[in-house]
Amino acid sequence: MSVSRRGLFGLAGAGVAVAGLGAAAGVLATGEPGGQPAGPVSVVPFRGQHQAGIVTPAQDRMHFVAFDVTTKDRAELVALLRAWTAAAERMTAGQEATEGGAVGGHPEAPPADTGEALDLAASALTLTIGFGPTLFDDRFGLAARRPEALIDLPRFPRDDLDPRRGGGDICVQACANDPQVAVHAIRNLARIGFGKVAVRWSQLGFGRTSSTSTSQATPRNLFGFKDGTNNLKAEDPAALAEHVWVTDGPEWMLGGTYLVARRIRMHIEIWDRTSLAEQEDIVGRAKGSGAPLGQRDEFDPVDPNVRGAGGVALVAEDSHVRLAAENLGGAKILRRGYNFTDGSDGFGHLDAGLFFVCFNRDSRTQFVPMQRALSSRDRMMEYLEHTGSGHFACPPGVAEGSFWGERLFG
């Protein structure tokens, strides 16, 4: 089944306006985010208690962007957030950014949609917004509303951050099963924001490395290993309430969450020259099955007490799986990362790795201690280079009649 949701352009090319497709899109809805795995024609509801794109079953592709706000006018920024919300809701329903946007407007005006997604299905597009620490400086009167949890992330051991790949006043994460749909959405938000925001950095992720639903198989990262087996899942609302959704801090963030993005270059050429045994020791899992060392099945629990020849622990203390689990003090994070490749590095290697994205309720007690332990003790760090970083406060879901960030600016 192939649903083209944006219109029938034999007519449109002759100048006939295109009918809105809101009704048709509704038919395709798959229920609340986190409900069903999202096929290519699925529509993920835009409005709800929480933003979509967090516990929504991870789509295959991602385009992430961070904007600098260039206007100094608070009212103009608020107007942009309203316009963005309207466009985002339409695009996630598989429609153009505005009614008849690409070809239905006045021929002497620039089109209000760029058109490259005209023939494509909704593809489970989600758009998730977050606000960075810099938005809370003195430009917009928001300093008093900055959540304490929205810290400037500390410098971690061996960080090698490129300032051109980090920070930003506002981020938008676009996820979809068709990359052109995700890129189209980001590009149209940038177009709508012309003169008010500028693209600071962006990242295309070609393949998901996380499952956020029990209905999804665990995918592999560019080290060839299954990643995030013990990830939080949409089907476990109690765990999400405990680890992901904000219940304290400023009122405007209740029901929201904190997004951490890290662009992690993987030195895959060096990794590829290490032995299978060494790779498995570093990860703490079997490469094929994904099972913890000493276990049979991917989802068997990690057992630090299993010992092999000579009484050596099979899952080493400094293995990635143990360090990640044991340094959260029982806390968990929701991972939602993507593999990337951005050409070559100029030194004969592919510039490839993991665009790590996680959501947590308080990065100070979840992401930060975990990353501190990993960055100082994880043997995998030898093969990694953190080149980009961002921290954003994602407000709760958008209620009917509301817009992105309304409670922050209200």
Site residues for its own copies, 209-248, by CB under 8 A, read 217, 219-225
Residue 89 or residue 113: which is nearer to its own copies going by CB? 113
Residue with tokens 């219940």: 247
The answer to whether 12 contacts its own copies (rule: CB under 8 A) is yes
The answer to whether 308 contacts its own copies (rule: CB under 8 A) is no
Taking CB under 8 A as the binding criterion, the range among 60-68, 76-84, 146-154, 306-314 that sits at the site for its own copies is: 60-68
Residue 24 or residue 190: which is nearer to its own copies going by CB? 190
Residue with tokens 């994904």: 290
The answer to whether 82 contacts its own copies (rule: CB under 8 A) is no
In angstroms, the CA 112 to CA 102 distance is 6
Quick note: the x/- pattern for its own copies over 352-381, rule CB under 8 A, is x-----------------------------
Taking CB under 8 A as the binding criterion, the range among 24-32, 57-65, 127-135, 394-402 that sits at the site for its own copies is: 57-65
Among 78, 121, 175, 204, binds its own copies (CB under 8 A): 204
The answer to whether 206 contacts its own copies (rule: CB under 8 A) is yes
Nearest approach, Cβ of 50 to its own copies (angstroms)?
28
**Residue 245, Ramachandran bin (φ over 0: left; ψ between -120 and 50: alpha; else beta):** beta
Residue with tokens 């593999």: 339
Among 131, 136, 201, 245, binds its own copies (CB under 8 A): 201
In angstroms, the CA 196 to CA 99 distance is 22
Residue 109 or residue 144: which is nearer to its own copies going by CB? 109
Among 52, 172, 174, 186, binds its own copies (CB under 8 A): 186
In angstroms, the CA 289 to CA 300 distance is 11
The answer to whether 349 contacts its own copies (rule: CB under 8 A) is yes
